[in-house]
Chains A and B, each alone.
Chain A
């Protein structure tokens, strides 16, 4: 896979986002470094997924700019945005696999439809990816025959099939048991080191963030609370960040009784 040429893969410059009168994101100023794994951490409704949608150009900020791989997305014509998206890969929370296709066809889909590769090339690449995610034996199964963790793995493989410069993973471990979560984390680490690509992972799973992150951005209620290396964020004095990391309720460790 291709390493990004930019030291900063995504640059959010004072980004505000409103849906009607509701403020979703507030003055987000965040530079996601290239060639590393950045985790967007925060509770549900913090604005993590929205931030990712902005980075892909599925949403436009109300104020501020989003620059991805050197392109200001607001100024990018539709055709060029489409071209840019071919340099991005995204794995969705539940895989977003095409139900009528087999595992093999799902992973092959972007290679066939987007990159228009030849069948022989597609087969080599898909077999290699399925092998990497440990689902080669399941290649002829349809998604309804797979477990949640397996669907997420196939989603990861499909996202990485086009050899993206930027890979986005939306809650890759949500709803999974701890053993499966650990295997997904290990897979993300393995793929990151293998392909030297920029990964942005959205999660509210602190253990998972600790396992995979080079950098961590913590969001809450649409505000960026903290951004830095994993150790910097883990040593943050911010009360909300600490509550999130230590899984303690805010305002001290009150007993429920």
Chain B
């Protein structure tokens, strides 16, 4: 299938004197992933740099166009909610891969496992003994006051006490290159389909580059996800019936929902395809009702069950919460897990790690000011122009103020919002995200990137090597969310140290 868009390099050498890709590449104040100094690539990037440096800009351009076309044809798109027409926009892949060496990755992996382990214990604790609240390690108001906390779920029993089957932890690199956790996404994190598709397209469009490295594969993710889902099925003597529950084609991540269902070989369903009867969930089929054992739900709690939660939701399944409580169906992720990815609770994750695991956090948090505390609030209001302000209960780059880039009108609006609802906001210093060479049409330029690794929690915790590198395609922009005009990169985790020949 790659054949119809793969350009051979012979075609691109027709232009007289090719311009080199890295001509004029500048390193700014941020940590550059590829270069430690101008034209000095880091050891694990050396071979990639050599290969690209030998390539003409026009040739790279053609390959980038081939990749863009492949994405458009595959329908790899992202819906932008703010677009009134609800248009699907392509989610562009940038062909310069991000490379993480083995040693660095093993530290990241350990840090991510530690974090998700603690977050899962936190969710369990909050819905059961509430030890961490009784001992005032995390403030009560903060946990009970968040929209993600569902008192309906107190005392819930789930298989193996696992609630966070799938999480996506957003990491950034500060100016010194140290990795920092920006955000935990434990409700319905999306993006993993791009990881798999980026890899597939990279292998076809830049096979020679790919072959020079021993890159850890990502294509077994659907199989691993399937195993995690199999494991939470109510015990029965046959292969469990699994479905992916999507809000429908208008959801921004619909492509991913259908992609994962297809890759796992399970049905993609909408709420209206499922019905509860006799304490079980059934799927309507042409041959009548068929029992469903596990639902990988990509619908937020609010819309999941119109009897228990929002009655006006037409997306969910009436009675699902009752069946879940009864143990008649497995849900991934569990209900009420939003209590762990609130931006205010985030501040306490290092404390959770110490409390539950008795360990020092491997990955640090970004310093966070809590508008709910009087001292922090005063600081935030005085330093709005330097800070990033975030609404506690929002995600995806919505409800956010980037102080240095905001107009004074936007700043006064947020000042007012913080005053009215201080517990609803936190602020963080503006962090200089790392940059990565990114193709911008006439050569390479540094663009800001982050990294969202995906963590699966089944019998053990595993991390998909790499994750989604999101890149802010606008010059200077620090917002990399797919819903805010970003693109992505293939992310290579090396099996060896990346400097030796394979």
Q: Do A and B bind each other?
A: no
Interface residues in chain A, defined as those with a beta carbon under 8 Å from any beta carbon in chain B: none
Interface residues in chain B, defined as those with a beta carbon under 8 Å from any beta carbon in chain A: none
